[in-house]
Amino acid sequence: MTTLGSLGLDALVDVLKAAGEPTRMRLLALLSAGDLTVTDLTEILGQSQPRISRHLKLLAEVALIDRYQEGAWAYFRLRQEGRRVALVRELLAAAAPGDAILARDSTRLAALKKARSEKAQAYFSRNAAEWDELRRLHVSEGDVETALKTMVGDEPVDSLLDLGTGTGRILQLFEGLYRRGIGVDASRDMLAVARSNLDRAGITKASIRHGDIFNLPLDGRSFDLVTIHQVLHFLEDPEAAITEAARMLVPGGRLVIIDFAPHGLEYLRNEHAHARLGFAHQTMTDWLQKAGLMLEKTTDLAPEGGEEGKLTVTIWLARDQRAADVADLPRQRLQAGGI
């Protein structure tokens, strides 16, 4: 067990003390499967809220779980990285597959996720007609996703951030590409849909957060790839959203924007809350440059035959300039006679 040797004695004892109690081990097993609230955990384990909260506090103190606020709710999950968490995962893997207590917890978790899924699906169904109408206005989602995957490529990335995540589709589409994923959305109803979809797909390395796209509740310079899929046309100040997205990128990281090209369908403003009727290439290029990004690739996906009343979808891929500046430094010095 190589993980044991990678921790100092004090840290090792802290982890074993925290995990070495039945309720806390059960909590760790549940939180390894995704985001849950204290209410969720109380319902599954059949214990009081103060007791569950006390155990969660102990687990957080030794950096085994993350806690984040979403309105009045606090969500918890097993941390996705770190030596301590690696040890916990080994301990969980050592548990007998047929253990009656863990099996019962798993069954109750499945029931809770099913109820959450049904609630999310009800919201989705109420809005399905509107979304179907919008989808008929442009090329198929399959064509857009194929072009998007081609543009991004298949080189793995450490971290992905999807802004305005909606149904969580981007987190599913690139599930094989990233090690850690986060989806952010301002709509709690859509967050429920996204969580349900991730549960159904069995994706546990991505989490969903409530947040403002103009003031993200995340540390800057933390993500290799940031995506903004069909969000900017709803915003009064899309340039500010791009600037905030750029702040999230590690040096050399990439931002991908999927949205509409300029169009004249004015009814979308009133009937579907579109604040902007698409974006011109020059406008997007200017915004990206102001945010410190360089546009690398652009793809236009126009409807077949240029049908009138149909929308063209554009994909823009830009890169943070800090890495490029460092890479160009030796050449710049040579040109200047500096080395």
- Residues 325, 293: Cα–Cα separation, whole Å: 11
pLDDT at residue number 284:
95
Contact between residue 174 and residue 160 where contact means Cβ atoms under 8 Å apart: yes
Any long-range contacts for 13-22 (C-beta under 8 Å, 24+ apart)? 14/62, 14/84, 15/62, 15/64, 15/84, 15/87, 15/88, 17/62, 18/58, 18/59, 18/61, 18/62, 18/64, 19/64, 19/88, 19/91, 21/55, 22/101
Q: What is the largest CA-CA distance in the chain?
A: 73
User: DSSP H helical segments within 65-202, as ranges?
Assistant: 83-93, 100-135, 141-152, 169-173, 188-201
Regions in the chain scoring below 70 on pLDDT: 1-5, 70-72, 120-121, 123-129, 131-132, 305-309, 323-339
* Residue 79 · residue 63 · CB < 8 Å: yes
Taking the CA atoms of 139, 140, 141 and 142 in sequence, report the sign of the dihedral they define.
Answer: negative
- The whole-number pLDDT of residue 335 equals 35
Residue (of 165, 141, 160) closest to 255 by Cα position: 160
Q: Tokens in use for 9?
A: 């004695």
- In sequence order, the 6+-apart residues with CB closer than 8 A to the CB of 289 are 295
Confidence at residue 58, expressed as pLDDT on a 0 to 100 scale: 96
**For 204-214, how does the pLDDT look when each residue is reduced to its tens digit (9 = 90+)?**
999 999 999 99
pLDDT score at 82: 87
Structure confidence at residue 73 (pLDDT): 79
Residue 71 contacts residue 235 (beta carbons within 8 Å) = no
Q: Could you read off the pLDDT of 281-331 as tens digits, one per residue?
A: 999 999 999 999 999 999 999 987 656 668 999 999 999 987 544 444 333
